[in-house]
Amino acid sequence: MPLKDKLDETRTGSAKRRTAEQRAIMQRATEDLRASGILDTVLKAGQVMPAFTGTSHDGRTIGSAGLLQQGPLVLSFFRGHW
């Protein structure tokens, strides 16, 4: 299944699990973020991300430079469920 179709399926499933009130709150929050100008400051597809360091799951310090030496790097931000 193409990624676009999978994402569309995920969005549809998510919308079905939310009440109309929850969807309206999320829509307003999205509109507020867009109106804030935040999209003007985020990296666009294909742009190079600045180097970074962070802590791994086991407490080690890791950096993008070292990871990139091992091959391509994919970074995913997962908000989680709460």
Instruction: Give residue 79's pLDDT band: very low, low, confident or very high (50, 70, 90).
Output: low
pLDDT (average), residues 13-35: 91
Judge whether 81 lies within some domain.
Answer: no
In terms of Cβ atoms closer than 10 Å to its own Cβ (0-12, 13-18, 19+), residue 62 is middle
pLDDT exceeds cutoff 60 at 55: yes
Q: Answer yes or no: is 14 within a domain.
A: yes
Q: How many domains are there within the chain?
A: 1
Q: Where in the sequence is the domain holding 59, given as residue range(s)? A: 3-69
Q: What is the pTM of this model?
A: 0.51
Residue 43 has a pLDDT of 86
